[in-house]
Chain A
């Protein structure tokens, strides 16, 4: 079974631009979560989607948004990019949302650099 895939793997953008990142979960997994990883803040939760609905949202500004499609694939969008948005963005999928028994499987991440 293929793992979580994220595209693109690397992105370079300039301040003020917007970016869209894509995540394809493991086949049969219906929940997708997004995390931001930076050297200063570590790993921080962005949002969680299940059945095309956002279930949870982390403490990020409205410039960060996401969505999930009927095939469970998910995209996240960052508008008006800032230098501080440079990070590794990780997507994780699980069979069902939330809770302690639904192990989250992570993709390799998208490395975003904002110049």
Chain B
């Protein structure tokens, strides 16, 4: 079946450090891939997405590239801020079904 695996947290970084959160997926067909972010006490916000192989999604300094050959969609940011502290979810959706399939989430804590 379809699934998403992302690196376990929590990840603790100092402000201005480089961030990578790994995400790999298993899916039939050609899924679209997403990164969502959840701030404390809130719902999910879409951070970025990519709908086909080699697409790069980007938003607010975050980037992720859809790598079909490695079935990966790693999230990166060159310089994190304290305000980036949140839980990040990698997710996929296939053309066959309307449900998002999420990874387990990675908690990021950025210290000043």
Question: Smallest distance from the beta carbon of A11 to chain B beta carbons, Å?
Answer: 15
Find chain A residues with CB under 8 A from B112 CB.
none
Find chain B residues with CB under 8 A from A100 CB.
30-32, 51, 93-95
**How far, in whole Å, are A33 and B78 apart by their CA atoms in the complex?**
34
Residue A71, interface by CB 8 Å: no
Which residue numbers of B lie inside 8 Å of A, CB to CB?
30-32, 36, 41-46, 49, 51, 89, 91, 93-95, 97-105
Residue A108, interface by CB 8 Å: yes
Question: Smallest distance from the beta carbon of B100 to chain A beta carbons, Å?
Answer: 6
Known: A33-B98, A43-B89, A56-B97. A109 touches B104 (CB 8 A): no
**How far, in whole Å, are A106 and B51 apart by their CA atoms in the complex?**
19
Q: Which of A4, A43, A56, A103 contacts B102 (CB 8 A)?
A: A43
A104 contacts B100, C-beta separation under 8 Å: yes
**How far, in whole Å, are A108 and B40 apart by their CA atoms in the complex?**
10
A98 contacts B98, C-beta separation under 8 Å: yes
Find chain A residues with CB under 8 A from B30 CB.
100
State the interface size on chain A (CB cutoff 8 A). Answer: 26
**How far, in whole Å, are A38 and B108 apart by their CA atoms in the complex?**
18
Q: Which of A31, A33, A43, A105 contacts B46 (CB 8 A)?
A: A105
Which residue numbers of A lie inside 8 Å of B, CB to CB?
4, 31, 33, 35, 42-43, 45, 48, 55-56, 58, 90, 92, 97-109
B45 contacts A56, C-beta separation under 8 Å: no
Q: List 14 A-B contacts (CB under 8 A).
A: A31-B98, A42-B103, A43-B89, A43-B105, A90-B44, A92-B44, A97-B98, A99-B98, A100-B30, A100-B51, A100-B94, A106-B43, A107-B43, A109-B43
Q: Which of A31, A90, A99, A101 contacts B43 (CB 8 A)?
A: A90
